[in-house]
Amino acid sequence: MSRIESVFKQKNHKALIAYVTVGYPSIEATLKVVPLLAECGCDIVELGIPFSDPMADGATIQRASFKALENGVHTALCLATAKKLSKKTSIPLVFMTYFNPIYQYGLAKFCNDCVASGIDGLIVPELPPEEGDELENLTGKSGVDLIYLLAPTSVEERIKLVAHKSRGFIYLVSIAGVTGTRTELPPELGKFILKVKQFAKQPVCVGFGISTPEQAAQVAQNADGVIIGSRLIQLMETDDAAMTATQMFVKETRKALDSIKV
């Protein structure tokens, strides 16, 4: 059992997964916020490797990615930062990145260096399961969970394929589109989660658009976990040195998830 899988073995527990862009607003901020997120109740943290063409990301994460690139953040620095973080916190760490940075770095070398840096999982938004065999083999050998995504538009054949291939959990995108905060979530989301769970043995976690503790609790009525990114980055942009608002938001979200009767 991987460390990611063990998160979902906790009884009566909904997973809270946070996303941060490595190096935004600075590497120092990343090294500070990730342990705080863990202390406040996050079970897993996604570390976004900044990329110049983040097609799955909305304005907030795009802005964070571009700023991180301006700060000189690159793949090797993200790996070095992950290694430092793995010594600061015991929760699983996952890289979210696009295929190009992995390809440029070298697939086998990247997977090996992920292990050396304490990375437990890998999310590549634009990598379809039909084209993931090489990376699946490499991550499988190294013990890194390769996590695939499903969109609300996914047909039953695609759902079955992702359910067969994804490791750790399935990343279910709440809406067709890009990341970003939303005032409300699609009313049919619950039905889609339940449809995916008919075919999936692994946990199903939902991301894209979850912006409040109430929305997180709503989604987690059916899902095994929720993923929050854009809202956290927005809070970090205006937060004080102690990251008080960020901590409060995560604690409130943890409390909302813990209130769910499983």
Q: CA 223, CA 203: separation in Å to the nearest integer?
A: 8
pLDDT of residue 176: 57
> At residue 224, what are phi and psi to the nearest 5 degrees?
-90, -15
pTM: 0.94
pLDDT of residue 53: 78
From the candidates 5, 28, 43, 46, which is the catalytic residue?
46
Q: Any catalytic annotation for residue 134?
A: no
Query: Structural domains in the chain?
Result: 14-147+210-256 (3.20.20.70)
From the candidates 39, 53, 57, 239, which is the catalytic residue?
57
pLDDT of residue 62: 87
For residue 69, the tally of other CB atoms under 10 A from its CB is 16
The tens-digit pLDDT sequence of the chain (262 residues) is 899 999 999 999 999 999 999 999 999 999 999 999 999 999 999 999 998 876 766 688 888 999 999 999 999 999 999 999 999 999 999 999 999 999 999 999 999 999 999 999 999 999 999 999 999 999 999 999 999 999 988 999 999 999 999 999 999 998 654 444 445 677 789 999 999 999 999 999 999 889 999 999 999 999 999 999 999 999 999 999 999 999 999 999 999 999 998 6
Answer whether 22's CB lies under 8 Å from 30's CB.
yes
- Per the listing, tokens 């499988």 go with 140
pLDDT of residue 179: 47
pLDDT of residue 187: 77
Q: Any catalytic annotation for residue 46?
A: yes
User: Which region holds residue 208: left if phi is over 0, alpha if psi is between -120 and 50, else beta?
Assistant: left
